[in-house]
Structure 1
Amino acid sequence: MIANRTLELLGLLQAQKEWTGDGLAERLGVSPRTVRRDIARLRELGYPVAARKGPAGFYRLARGARLPPLVVDDEQAVAIALALQTAPASVAGMGDATRRALNSVKDLLPPHLARRLEAFSVEQIENAWELAPPQVDPALLARLSAAAQQRELARFAYRSVEGGPAEGGSTAGGSTEGGSTAGGEVLAEPHRLVVWSGRWYLVAYDQRGNSWHAYRLDRIAQLGTTAWRFAPREVPEADIAGFVRSRPDRGDGADAWPCWGTVLMECPAGLVARWAPGAASFEAVDEKITRIRMGAWSWSALIGFLVTFDRPFTVEGPPELAEAARRVSARLGAGAPRA
């Protein structure tokens, strides 16, 4: 009980710059004398709590010269360990950093919790059937996250899935990592970063195109902030995940995969948006036909993903994909039981 109250007290001091003793006592449901004892306990743990006495008195959590023990309960400690060990592999250079972060957390925990974390050693194994996402720069994540938090306009070059200018962006020359395709310049109001299927997106409002978009971070280049602020807007859909999945240009670029093809599938675009992997992009041809562009590590693997829709499709190209469709079809026919 005392440990839980100490943790709650620490959270209050971190959430607000200054507290009166009476204010803390009211929030914790204890007497001011108990608050003073709990403050003394925090100081014993190494948390530098400054205090001023008198009518204008307050308690304030100051910056300390040394890092005190981390005050978390058993479930929180396990959650931290699992989160660090299963962090997305789509951020470049994070593998070693997450291991070092976990070791740092262990050093800050009380001995019994540090020992418990040793029992939660996790090894991630790559699943060949999961389409590996392109990696993004952690510095790009940090800058876009800060821009969204501060409501600061961002300007960047963006290339579509086919390497051309982004929809809604003005045509402008510019190189991107991994290619020299032209990109469209975007002036965006960053709203939120989203991860789906291991792929990072920036949900933002394009001021020039007057429309909302989900921009793939691996296609953003030449990011610059403007120091211009913008007023908050309502996202067109309450379900951010649904908004990202429904974007036709959400998929990987052709340069991300050794095998890349396009098919016309007898399936409404809404169903394709819901069930196609994150690596796929699409466009509605009409109410019943959807053009799907997608890559994979082999032609047969690409066919395998497409047949999961259990809908007829026609290969538009390239010829290698059409040949793989004939080859896989023959194999499946040969494997069917004879009457």
Structure 2
Amino acid sequence: MDDVTTRDPAARLLRLLSLLQSRTDWPGPELADRLGVSTRTIRSDVERLRDLGYPVSATSGTAGGYRLGPGARLPPLLLDDEEAVAVAVGLRTAAAQTVGGIEETSLRALAKLEQVLPARLRPRLAALTAYTVPVPAGGGPAVDSDVLAALASACRDRRRLRFDYRDHDGNATVRDTEPHRLVSTGRRWYLVAWDVDRDDWRTFRIDRLTPRTPMGPSFPGRWMPPGDAIDFVTKGVASTLGPCRTVATVHAPAAAVSERVPPVARVEHLDDARCLLHIGAATPLTLAVYLAALGLPFTVDGPAELLEALRQVARHCTAAASAGGAAVPER
């Protein structure tokens, strides 16, 4: 510890606060050693932090210790350089996502952060902003931030959750679940949960559910089926992308195909040169365009409507290529 921090009470107080925010529990003697002062000085500094509104609690034990806990109001936070840049980038990203009501809040928080950001960090943030292009939400349905927070709390605390749910066809049901994880596919948010009445894992569109309060009793952890929550969501959603679905054999590695399809499409490895693409769309023509846009050789066995749509796309593309730069005839 440098002499300036040891001698200057304000600098020492900021350093103490930074240490308390970095981990849950700190023994008093260890804090004293880090700051180069006595345990009596640490006790005095902790009292000063409490006077400033920081909820520092003392922990029992032979050595004694301190913990920074939640309080009635949010005190100032100390961030290092990497944390400050990460928070700023996260706020910019959040402003473009599909969480309803959070866009303006994210921009307000970002403005406050940028106002106090040290000059040495501004070029890094400016470069990230200028040369990073986030994928927009794509017009997906917005979810309420309060609902999202309530679901996250239920997952964290392992509390049973009942909610009203409206399915794809508009049918309303009441579901009793053990919530597991929240998954965002970019356009939509999903809850992965164990459906108590159906005795199986299910995925639920969060924009279609309304939680009932209060939450139910706690439940023990449950083993997730093979694959993580993301795979579970993508496999389930891929089967409901639209009434027209197919499984295409793409003559390219699975990794290369995965980079060209939306996250809800499922890619299944066959060998180093082939994979299966499980994909669907609202209409055969839309699905044909999706497949053609891969820019990779593929084969499909059906359905018949898709095969006809592929022929139609091929005819139009061939005609356009044959015409070259010729003027388009007037209608």
TM-score tier (shorter): 0.5 to 0.7
Superposed displacement of residue 126, structure 1: 7.6
Structure 1 pair 35–81 and aligned structure 2 pair: CA distance change class (3 A): farther
What does 1:21-170 align with in structure 2 at a 5 Å threshold? 21-22=28-29, 24-25=31-32, 32-33=38-39, 36=42, 39=45, 43=49, 46=52, 48=54, 59=66, 61=68, 69-87=76-94, 89-106=97-114, 109=116, 112=119, 119=126, 122=129, 132-160=139-167, 163-164=168-169
* Aligned amino acid, residue 316 of structure 2: R
* Larger proportion of helix: 2
Name the structure 1 match of 2:246: 264
Aligned partner (choices 298, 322, 326) of residue 311 of structure 1: 298
1-side partners of 2:121 and 2:53: how far apart? 20
Give the counterpart letter for 1:70 in structure 2: L
- SS of residue matched to 1:82: helix
CA displacement at 1:233 relative to structure 2: 1.0
Q: 1:11 maps to what in 2?
A: 21
Root-mean-square deviation (Å): 4.8
List per-residue Cα deviations over 1:26-63 (Å, max 9, x = no partner): 7x5966459729947984995647688x9896545477
- Relative to structure 1, is the Cα distance of residues 322 and 75 closer, same or farther in structure 2, using a 3 angstrom cutoff? same
For 1:159 and 1:221, the matched residues in 2 are separated by 7
Match of 2:271 in 1: none
Sort the Cα spacing of 1:69 and 1:294 in 2 relative to 1 into closer, same or farther, 3 A: same
Question: What is the CA–CA distance in structure 2 between the aligned matches of 1:230 and 1:65, rounded to whole Å?
Answer: 29
Where does structure 2 lack aligned partners over 5 or more consecutive residues? 6-10, 268-274, 325-331
Gaps of 5+ in 1: 165-180, 255-260, 283-287
SS in 2 for 1:186: strand
CA gap 1:249/1:187 in 2 versus in 1, 3 angstroms:
farther
Q: In 2, are the aligned partners of 1:21 and 1:58 still within 8 Å (CA)?
A: yes
The C-alpha deviation readout for 1:119-164, integer Å capped at 9, x for no partner, is 3683786869x8543221212211211211222211223344xx24
Match of 1:294 among 281, 296, 317: 281
User: In structure 2, how many angstroms separate the alpha carbons of the residues matched to 1:72 and 1:98?
Assistant: 18
Alignment-mate amino acid for residue 11 of structure 1: Q
Amino acid at match of 2:197: R
* Equivalent AA in structure 2 for residue 333 of structure 1: T
Secondary structure at 2:197 match in 1: coil
AA paired with 2:145? Answer: P
SS of 2:161's equivalent? Answer: strand
Of residues 197, 222, 233, the one that matches 2:210 is 222
**Count of aligned pairs between the two proteins:** 293
Structure number with higher relative contact order (C-alpha < 8 Å, ≥ 6 residues apart): 1
Q: What code does the residue aligned with 2:299 have?
A: P
Q: So what's the TM-score if we normalise by structure 1?
A: 0.64
CA positional deviation for 1:246: 2.0
Q: By how many angstroms is 1:85 displaced?
A: 0.4
1:224-257 C-alpha deviation (Å, 9 max, x unpaired): 14422211112123533222222256656x6xxx
Quote the Cα distance in structure 2 between the aligned partners of 1:148 and 1:65. 24
The secondary structure found in structure 2 opposite 1:303 is: helix
Letter in 2 for 1:148: C
Q: What TM-score do you get using the length of structure 2 for normalisation?
A: 0.66
2:190 maps to 1:201: yes
Letter in 2 for 1:264: T
Q: Deviations over 1:271-321 (max 9, x none)?
A: 7xx945245699xxxxx998843249xx8654321332743347759x8x8
| 8 Å Cα contact 2:238-2:266 kept in structure 1 | yes
Whole-Å Cα distance in 1 between the matches of residues 24 and 229 of structure 2? 27
Q: Residue 306 of structure 1 aligns to which amino acid in structure 2? A: L
Cα distance change, pair 30–303 in 1 and its aligned pair in 2 (3 A): farther
Residue identity opposite 1:92 in structure 2: G
Distance 1:197 1:9 in 2: 36
